[in-house]
């Protein structure tokens, strides 16, 4: 359910990916419009909004039409920031709360800003018995990834509480599964975390990753 809490003039970062709440996002920023945005967000301790592209490219090209993107996105909070060379910033961000755009505008230098309203956080719903295999398979995949590259900042060591939370399990699978961008977007927008996990479970069963039988 949408809340009445609003943010005005939230800077947006349209990407060819979907950021889920509690998810980690690594970015390399080099366009002037985003370098300025990132510096201002870092100085103010403020988030920016990540929205998935529906048309256009992440990097603007001369003469290309304006980007088009989804109305629902996720706030991104900067957790790590480095400047390895002039004109390049690397970021590690964490997704927090989903939002819905109520009004958007394009600034002269190419940065999108929007007025948004917050969407409700996922309710804490325990993983039911028939979806426990999806949770167990996720734990195994995350353990393998962490063992393979333990120093990567996106390596996740889940807690038992996280593995028993429908929204958290569904979101992590959505990040890992090679499904179309528009499907990830629709899953992220779902208000019911149990339904989201049930749909993810269907994908896992079809692919044989976590059969329910």
Q: What is the pLDDT of residues 75-105, one digit of tens each?
A: 999 999 999 999 999 999 999 999 999 999 9
Pairing of strands 48-55, 72-85: antiparallel
Q: 181-189 and 193-207 are packed helices; what angle lies between their axes, rounded to 10 degrees? A: 150
pLDDT confidence of residue 43: 92
pLDDT confidence of residue 154: 64
What letter would DSSP give residue 101? E
Residue 61 has pLDDT above 80, yes or no: no
Q: What is the pLDDT of residues 14-47, one digit of tens each?
A: 999 999 999 999 999 999 999 999 999 999 999 9
pLDDT confidence of residue 202: 93
In this prediction, residues 132-156 reach a mean pLDDT of 84
Provide the whole-model pTM. Answer: 0.89
Q: What is the pLDDT of residues 159-208, one digit of tens each?
A: 999 999 999 999 999 999 999 999 999 999 999 999 999 999 999 988 87
In the chain, the percentage of residues whose pLDDT exceeds 70 is 93
- Hey, what long-range contacts does 90-93 have (CB within 8 A, 24 or more apart)? 90/26, 90/27, 90/28, 90/29, 91/25, 91/26, 91/27, 91/28, 91/29, 91/38, 92/24, 92/25, 92/26, 92/27, 92/153, 92/154, 93/19, 93/24, 93/25, 93/26, 93/27, 93/50
138 within 8 A of 169, measured Cβ to Cβ: yes
pLDDT confidence of residue 92: 94
pLDDT confidence of residue 2: 45
pLDDT category, 153, cuts 50, 70, 90?
low
pLDDT confidence of residue 207: 80
| Residues 6+ positions from 23 with CB-CB distance below 8 Å | 74, 94, 95, 171, 172, 175
pLDDT category, 1, cuts 50, 70, 90?
very low
All domains in the chain, ordered by first residue:
2-119 (2.30.130.40), 129-207 (1.10.4060.10)
Take residue 96 and report the two structure tokens written for it: 């927090």
pLDDT confidence of residue 199: 96
């Amino acid at each position: 359910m949408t809340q009445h809490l609003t943010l005005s003039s939230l800077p947006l970062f349209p990407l060819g990916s979907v950021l889920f709440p509690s998810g980690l996002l690594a970015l390399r920023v080099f366009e002037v419009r985003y370098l300025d945005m990132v510096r201002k967000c870092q100085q103010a301790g403020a988030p920016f909004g990540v929205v998935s592209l529906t048309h256009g490219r992440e990097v603007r090209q001369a003469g290309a039409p304006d980007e088009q993107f989804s109305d629902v996105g996720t706030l991104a909070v900067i957790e790590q920031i480095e400047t390895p060379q002039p004109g390049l910033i690397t970021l590690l961000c964490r997704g927090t709360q989903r939002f819905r755009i109520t009004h958007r505008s394009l600034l002269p230098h190419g940065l999108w800003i929007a007025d948004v309203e917050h969407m409700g956080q996922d309710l804490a719903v325990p993983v039911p018995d028939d979806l426990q295999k999806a949770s167990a398979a996720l734990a195994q995949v995350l353990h393998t990834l962490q063992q393979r590259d333990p120093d990567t900042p996106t390596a996740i060591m889940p807690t038992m509480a996280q593995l028993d939370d429908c929204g958290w399990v569904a979101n992590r699978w959505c990040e890992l599964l090679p499904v179309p961008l528009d499907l990830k977007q629709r899953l992220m927008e779902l208000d019911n975390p149990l339904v989201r996990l049930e749909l993810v479970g269907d994908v896992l069963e079809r692919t044989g990753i976590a059969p329910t039988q």
